[in-house]
Amino acid sequence: MFQPGSGYGDPEARLTDEHRLQSAKDEAERLFREYHDLDRQHMESEMLELQRSQRLATWASFAVAAVVGLATIVSTVVALFK
């Protein structure tokens, strides 16, 4: 039953509640977008770190292969001149 000031059926209270609900929805959506953006940034930084690590591993493998190849050539040349 409507009683003045009870908020039940009060148009102003209804508008206030709708405004609060819309504000809460907007805030939840903003926070979700912010979380999504932070998650994407974190994923991108992890991918860049992985790419950096892979590049370093590639160069390390290349360096080891070059040293082994050079050592093989040197040992072959030394064996030929013995």
Read off the tokens for 30.
Answer: 């903003």
Tell me: pLDDT of 1 over 70.
no
Read off the tokens for 12.
Answer: 């102003």
Read off the tokens for 54.
Answer: 């892979």
pTM of the model: 0.57
Amino acid at 70: L
- Distance (Å, whole) CA 28 – CA 22: 10
DSSP code of residue 8 = T
Per residue in 41-52, pLDDT tens? 999 999 999 999
